[in-house]
């Protein structure tokens, strides 16, 4: 193991889901180096939820070179110069590598692209601990690769988000105040259109779960106006009217909402990864996505080694079910997969499948609500 650092920078300048799946590394480093100060560098709009993580000292927001006030990106990079004993980038891009180079006084950890020999050669000289990126590994597994490179032992990789009492009160008020009825959550949207499922099918599933299991449906979306309008229009077709939350909760509050639910149903999106982290039973619907890299992570029963590269199909791992249709095109790079309004891979998932998996999870004695977060999630 390396000598204990006093300060650590973790850089992840990608999307929200990537940042969420980096949180296991924070726990590994805190356990290995008690009292260490950890800062995290993220893009604006992707990592604000980390500001409520008591393990993190500071969240720093990067800027693209062309957007910085000086034109040189100095507004954040200059503030990093030689401030950290250990700097880690979780991406193979240039911004993370530059941040590590600028910030580190001693140890620099980063990923190399094995399919780009020249880039790999440069990164292997830049980093004190270069890591060959594994295309066949779950994104959470990258945290384990960093730990291995640094010689840090670990047992579990746990994705975690935190919230406080104020967040709990906001969620309760959004649900109508105390007492909060038993509820389940549907998040029928994702960042990219090819990940969508037919919204009318969500209506069928919502009605079925509400009636069969006597639960209040709660439908959520991002703050995007078009998405919020679709949420309203689709939910209006439900015979059991959902509570609508059109992007009015922070990600910390969403985690709090999800932790209190009896069930979550959603698509290949950051909210699904957050749901999986809370302990709520999850039914996730995936289309043309590398399942072995991006399936929802079960903190209690990690399934990373159970999903081989190239696999397409359902995964059942404890309280989490990921539904994905089989496909004659394993790489799923067809134009009609990524470009279709109604993606054929997604449309192959039926409402009956989703309802059956939801009922199985809700009926299982192994999927009781896990009240494991409470005080250690920010209170």
Shared-domain flag, residues 35 and 78: yes
Specify if 206 maps to a domain: yes
Which DSSP symbol is given to 182? P
| Between 368 and 48, residue with greater pLDDT | 48
Residues 45-69, mean pLDDT to the nearest whole number: 84
Shared-domain flag, residues 316 and 239: yes
- What is the CB-side half-sphere exposure of residue 152 using CA atoms within 13 A? 25
Q: How confident is the model at residue 137 (pLDDT cuts 50, 70, 90)?
A: confident
Shared-domain flag, residues 92 and 176: no
Shared-domain flag, residues 139 and 81: yes
Assign 104 to helix, strand or coil: strand
End residue of a domain, out of 150, 178, 194: 150
Across 310-350, the runs of DSSP E, i.e. the strands, are: 315-317, 320-324
Residues 284-298, mean pLDDT to the nearest whole number: 89
Question: Is 193 within 8 Å of 339 (Cβ atoms)?
Answer: no
Shared-domain flag, residues 169 and 145: no
End residue of a domain, out of 90, 125, 150: 150
Specify if 184 maps to a domain: yes
Across 188-281, the runs of DSSP E, i.e. the strands, are: 216-221, 243-246, 264-267
Q: How confident is the model at residue 339 (pLDDT cuts 50, 70, 90)?
A: low
What CATH number does residue 282 fall under?
A: 3.40.50.2000
Residues 30-42, mean pLDDT to the nearest whole number: 97
Tokens 């730990």 belong to: 147
The number of folded domains in the chain is 2
Question: Is 249 within 8 Å of 174 (Cβ atoms)?
Answer: yes
| Between 74 and 13, residue with greater pLDDT | 13
Shared-domain flag, residues 112 and 200: no
End residue of a domain, out of 150, 184, 199: 150
The span from the CA of 346 to the CA of 194, in Å, is 8
**pLDDT of 161 above 90:** yes
Q: How confident is the model at residue 370 (pLDDT cuts 50, 70, 90)?
A: very low
Which DSSP symbol is given to 4? P
Specify if 226 maps to a domain: yes
At 321 the pLDDT is 95
Shared-domain flag, residues 293 and 220: yes
**pLDDT of 66 above 70:** no
The span from the CA of 278 to the CA of 36, in Å, is 26
Specify if 2 maps to a domain: no
CA 230 vs CA 187, 189, 194, 225: distances in Å:
12, 9, 16, 9
The span from the CA of 137 to the CA of 304, in Å, is 7
Chain centroid to CA 181: how far? Answer: 27
Residue 285 β-bridge partners: 267, 323
Shared-domain flag, residues 106 and 255: no
For residue 369, the enclosing domain spans: 165-376
Specify if 287 maps to a domain: yes
Quote the mean pLDDT of the chain. Answer: 87
Question: Is 7 within 8 Å of 39 (Cβ atoms)?
Answer: yes
The values of phi and psi at residue 204, to 5°, are -60, -45
Shared-domain flag, residues 203 and 349: yes
Residues 158-171, mean pLDDT to the nearest whole number: 97
At 305 the pLDDT is 57
Shared-domain flag, residues 229 and 341: yes
Specify if 160 maps to a domain: no
At 343 the pLDDT is 75
In the sheet that holds 216-221, the strands lie side by side as 243-246, 216-221, 183-187, 264-267, 282-286, 320-324, 315-317
Q: How confident is the model at residue 228 (pLDDT cuts 50, 70, 90)?
A: very high
At 373 the pLDDT is 36
The pLDDT tens digits for 103-121 are 999 999 999 876 677 667 7
Shared-domain flag, residues 178 and 110: no
Specify if 279 maps to a domain: yes
């Amino acid at each position: 193991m390396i000598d204990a650092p006093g300060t650590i920078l973790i850089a992840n300048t990608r999307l929200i889901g990537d940042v969420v799946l980096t949180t296991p590394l924070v726990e590994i480093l805190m356990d290995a180096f008690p009292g260490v100060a950890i800062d995290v560098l993220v893009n604006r709009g992707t990592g604000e939820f980390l500001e409520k993580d008591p393990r993190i000292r500071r969240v720093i927001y990067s800027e693209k070179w062309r957007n910085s006030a000086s034109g040189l990106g100095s507004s954040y990079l200059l503030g990093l110069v030689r401030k950290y004993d250990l700097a880690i980038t979780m991406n193979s891009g240039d911004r993370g590598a530059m941040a590590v180079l600028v910030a580190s006084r001693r140890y620099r950890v980063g990923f190399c692209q094995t399919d780009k020999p020249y880039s790999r050669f440069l990164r292997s000289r830049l980093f004190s601990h270069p890591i060959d990126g594994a295309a066949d590994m779950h994104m959470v597994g990258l945290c384990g690769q960093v730990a291995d490179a640094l010689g840090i032992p670990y047992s579990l990789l746990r994705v975690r988000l935190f919230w406080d009492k104020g967040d709990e009160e906001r969620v309760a008020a959004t649900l109508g105040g105390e007492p909060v009825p038993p509820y389940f959550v549907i998040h029928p949207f994702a960042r990219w259109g090819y990940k969508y499922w037919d919204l009318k099918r969500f209506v069928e599933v919502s009605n079925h779960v509400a009636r069969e299991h006597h639960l209040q449906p709660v439908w959520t979306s991002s703050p995007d106006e078009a998405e919020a309008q679709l949420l309203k229009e689709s939910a209006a077709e439900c015979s059991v009217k959902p509570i609508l939350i059109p992007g009015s909760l922070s990600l910390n509050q969403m985690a709090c909402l999800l932790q209190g639910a009896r069930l979550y149903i959603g698509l290949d999106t950051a909210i699904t990864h957050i749901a999986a982290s809370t302990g709520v039973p999850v039914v996730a619907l995936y289309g043309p996505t590398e399942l072995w890299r991006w399936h929802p992570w079960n903190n209690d029963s990690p399934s990373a080694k159970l999903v081989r590269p190239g696999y397409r199909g359902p995964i059942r791992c404890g309280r989490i079910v990921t539904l994905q249709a089989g496909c004659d095109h394993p790489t799923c790079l067809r134009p009609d997969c990524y470009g279709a309004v109604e993606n054929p891979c997604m449309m192959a998932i039926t409402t009956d499948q989703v309802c059956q998996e939801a009922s199985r999870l809700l009926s299982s004695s192994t999927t009781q609500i896990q009240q494991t977060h409470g005080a250690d999630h920010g209170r």
